[in-house]
Every structure is written in structure tokens, then in C-alpha cells.
């Protein structure tokens, strides 16, 4: 099986299961870890998936982490209350 066929099969798998790790790729396609990594590089280069720790995920499934400025402002009152409660326990 060539790379193009594997990439199509990986994308088909991801449509159903949303994520796939290197071990699953190696076992499913009887390929080496290096070949699986090359497939991951190709899929991410084409912006079809995002890399995860040890594999790939569909972009729509992978939650992007917001930048610090946005995160620091969300739920700020709740964070202050948690901080006060924690400080009172010390």
C-alpha cells in the first residue's frame, strides 16, 4: 500500500473515531513507526489533521487552547473566589 492510500484510510478512520495514534497506524497498515510519522507529517502539512501526543486528530475535534490574555480574563470572579478560599485554608 502506498502513502496516498494510507492517508485516505487514515482520514476515513478519523471521520469515525476522531483520533488515531502511531501504534494503531503501525498495526492497521503493517508499517514502521518512521513510516507512520512520515504519514503524520504529510497530513499535517496538508492541514488535514493536527498532531497530538503520539498521533493525530481531526482539526474539528482537537480543542485549540486560547491564548493567555483570553484565558486570564474568563471566569475571573470565580478564580478570585477560589483563590480566597484556598488562601483561607492555609
* Fold observed for domain 3-58: Arc Repressor Mutant, subunit A (1.10.10)
Tell me the pLDDT tens digit for each residue of 5-16: 999 999 999 999
Domain boundaries, the chain: 3-58
Q: Would you give the distance in Å from CA 37 to the centre of its chain?
A: 14
Q: pTM to 2 decimals?
A: 0.66
Tell me the pLDDT tens digit for each residue of 19-78: 999 999 999 999 999 999 999 999 999 888 999 888 999 887 766 556 667 767 777 888
Nearest-angstrom CA–CA distance, 39 and 24:
13
Amino acid at each position: 500500500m502506498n502513502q496516498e492510500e494510507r492517508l485516505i484510510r487514515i482520514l476515513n478512520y478519523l471521520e469515525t473515531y476522531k483520533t488515531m495514534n502511531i501504534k494503531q497506524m503501525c498495526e492497521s497498515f503493517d508499517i514502521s513507526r518512521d513510516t507512520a510519522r512520515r504519514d503524520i507529517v504529510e497530513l499535517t502539512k496538508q492541514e488535514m489533521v493536527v498532531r497530538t501526543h503520539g498521533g493525530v486528530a481531526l482539526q474539528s475535534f482537537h480543542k485549540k487552547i486560547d491564548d493567555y490574555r483570553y484565558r486570564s480574563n474568563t471566569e475571573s470572579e470565580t478564580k478570585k473566589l477560589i483563590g480566597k478560599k484556598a488562601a483561607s485554608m492555609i
